[in-house]
Structure formats: C-alpha cells, structure tokens
Structure 1
Amino acid sequence: MQEQVSKLIGATEEGMKKALTHLESELGKIRAGKATPQILDGISVDYYGSPMPVNQVGNITVLDARTINIQPWEKNMLQPIERAIIAANIGINPQNDGVNIRLFLPPLTEERRRELVKRTQGEGENSKIVIRGARRDVIEGIKKLQKEGLSEDGAKDAETIAQQLTDKYIAIVDKHLAAKEKEIMAI
C-alpha cells in the first residue's frame, strides 16, 4: 500500500512541476519593456508549406534593451517572417530593411503595465488551479486506497504530504509572480 501512495504523491509532484514549468515559459513571453527572444516563442512561419518556429528559420539577437534583430538564413524568408509576426499580434510592428527584420519595443505606458500585471496574475492563477487540481486528484486516489485497505493514519499522513507539496508549489508560483510584477512595473 505504501508503495502505491508513494507513486501517487510522486505523480502529483510531477504534475505540479509541469504547471510551474508552463508558468515560467508563459511569463517569459510577457514582455516587461525589455527585449527578449522569448517574445517570439510560439510564432510559426510558413516554411515551404510547413509551420516552423521563427528561431528555426533565422538568427534572433537582442541588439539593445528595446531592439530585437532577426536575420533569416534565407533571404526569401523575410516576408513570411514579417507576416507571421504581424499575424501573431504581439503589439510590435516589424521593420524590414531587406536583410534583417528589426522589432523595436515601444516603452510601456502605465496602463499597459497594469494590463501586463493582470495577465501575469491570470497565468499564475491558472497554474494554481492546476496545482490544486493535482492535490484533489491525489486525495481522491488516497481515499480509494483507504477503501482497499490503507490505514487511516497512512491516509492522513499522505494527505498531509499532498497539502505540503501544494503549499510549496503555490508559494513558488507567488514568488515568480511577485518577481515578474516587479520587473513589469520597474520604469
């Protein structure tokens, strides 16, 4: 029985780690006034009939705090990359000079900063929902095991461990959100 409880808790922790990893990748996509290549994550370019991520059809570099440069490996990819960035609606207009595509990030207004903080908090709340859902699932699994013969003390101990994991991962989510909010609100 104890082995099954350990497997349940291990699977739960794995799910919580995945939620945290997803949050980190989503927070990386939210621009905080600084240029980062992660802004382009999730944007696909039509490369000879098949979708390819932007970072696989060109070289992405950050020139300064507000400028991203994309140098396509093939010159005929300039237009498709430009169209993909416009279609992604990330709030940045690409500048095509015939060799490179440059993205100039405008300075954030106070209103836009507040919108980004709300979006960040929404992503954090989604992660917390997944973490709490993992806790609920493990507790249901423990109750099933209890019906199959797991002792009441063993069940209580397992539920305590599940709650401790939940508290730990929610605290990490809160820490990430606080850091991102501080980054966004910094002028």
Structure 2
Amino acid sequence: MADDFMIDTDDLQRRMDGAMASLRSEFGSLRTGRASASMLEPVMVDAYGSPTPINQVGTVNVPEPRMVTVNVWDKGLVGKVEKAIRESGLGINPQLNGTIIMLPIPELNEERRRELTKVAAQYAESARIAIRNVRRDGMDQIKKAKADGMSEDDQKLWEDEVQEMTDAQIKAVDQALETKQAEIMQV
C-alpha cells in the first residue's frame, strides 16, 4: 500500500537545490573587496534597444585580485557599458582604455563590510524561507495522501524524510552564510 502513495521527493529536492543555487548567485554578486566576474552579472546594458547582460556585449576578465576588465566587442557600446556600470550601484568607478573598461575594486571599510554581512544574512533568510515553503508543499502532499488512505506509519516515514531534506538544506544555507560573512569581514 505504501507504493500507492508516492511523494515526489525528487521534485522537492530539486526545488530546494534551486533555492541554494539562487543564494549562491546572490552571494556571488556581493562585493567582498576582491575582484570577481560574477559581481557584474546583475548589470544590464541597453544594447541594440533591449536590456542585455554585460557578458553578452563583452568579455569579463579578472586579471588581478583587485581589478575587473570588460573588453567590449562593439566600440559603439563602450559608453553604454560604462554608464550601466556607473549607475549599477556597485560603487565602482570605471576607467576607459579604448574598448577595454577597467574596474579597480576599492578596499572596503569596516562599516561597509558590516552592511554587506547584513545583506548576506537577508539573502540567506530568503533562501531559508524558500526551502521552508517547499517543505510545506511536501507536507501538504503527505496530508492529502493521508486523506486518500495512506497509513499513519507511511505518513510518519514521509514526513521524516521531508524534514531531513529540509534540515540538510537549512544547514547548507547556514554554512554558506558563515563562509560568506567570514569572506566579507576578511581584510
């Protein structure tokens, strides 16, 4: 009878993994005082009449720990790319060198580091909420199966499995947050 009521744990796991992937992406966009190509991912350039990710109008490189360069392929877009970076809120002042835009990464002060750790904590809490929402969906599936005739033993087994998945994902979020906060606070 247990086989009659299958809870799609693969779907739940995939959705929880998606929340973690989103968290890693958000963490990648946080400036830590070190150059990273991923810090430019949220920057959109008005190219050819539509918003375009910066990595689709040029090559983003990290030639040294405190420098990011963008080699813009179309000379006509250099000004638009520079403007997009300047207005992105990253706090970086681009320097032009032909079609190459150099982005020196300034040292972060203590106050800014603390602000960034708070932002990282907000991102982590959003990921925890997303994971708990997936858990709630799984528990709702189990309750529905119980109403359709699932035994209490099977219900308990499924609930335990969903809870274990949730606990593992929340632990991974907490570890990722600790790592990111340590990285941000490192001088």
TM range (shorter): over 0.9
**Counterpart amino acid of residue 127 in structure 1:** A
**Counterpart amino acid of residue 2 in structure 1:** D
Q: Where does residue 136 of structure 2 map in the other structure?
A: 136
**Counterpart amino acid of residue 179 in structure 2:** A
Pair 1:137–1:63, CA change in 2 (3 A): same
User: Could you list the runs of 5+ residues in structure 2 that have no partner in the other structure?
Assistant: none
After superposition, the C-alpha distances for 1:155-180 in whole angstroms (9 at most, x for unaligned) are 01100001100100011111111111
Which deviates the most, 166-175 or 57-66?
A: 57-66
Query: What TM-score, normalized to structure 1?
Result: 0.95
After superposition, the C-alpha distances for 1:70-127 in whole angstroms (9 at most, x for unaligned) are 1111111110101111221111121123331111111010111101110111100000
Q: Where does residue 7 of structure 2 map in the other structure?
A: 6
Pair 1:4–1:87, CA change in 2 (3 A): farther
Q: Where does residue 65 of structure 2 map in the other structure?
A: 65
> Could you tell me whether the CA contact under 8 Å between 2:33 and 2:107 is conserved in 1?
yes
**Does 2:47 match 1:47?**
yes
**Counterpart amino acid of residue 150 in structure 2:** L
Q: Where does residue 26 of structure 1 map in the other structure?
A: 26
> Could you tell me whether the CA contact under 8 Å between 2:73 and 2:99 is conserved in 1?
no
User: Could you list the runs of 5+ residues in structure 1 that have no partner in the other structure?
Assistant: none
SS of match in other structure, 1:88: coil
Could you tell me how far apart the structure 1 residues matched to 2:34 and 2:5 are? 47
Q: Where does residue 163 of structure 2 map in the other structure?
A: 163
RMSD of the TM alignment (CA)? Answer: 1.2
Pair 1:111–1:153, CA change in 2 (3 A): same
Moved over 6 A (4+): none
**Counterpart amino acid of residue 78 in structure 2:** L
Measure how far apart 1:15 and its partner are.
0.9
**Counterpart amino acid of residue 183 in structure 1:** E
Measure how far apart 1:63 and its partner are.
2.1
SS of match in other structure, 1:93: coil
Query: What TM-score, normalized to structure 2?
Result: 0.95
Once the two structures are aligned, what percentage of the paired residues are identical?
39
Could you tell me how far apart the structure 2 residues matched to 1:5 and 1:27 are? 35
**Counterpart amino acid of residue 165 in structure 1:** M
**Does 2:102 match 1:93?**
no
> Could you tell me whether the CA contact under 8 Å between 2:139 and 2:162 is conserved in 1?
yes
Measure how far apart 1:36 and its partner are.
0.4
**Counterpart amino acid of residue 6 in structure 1:** I
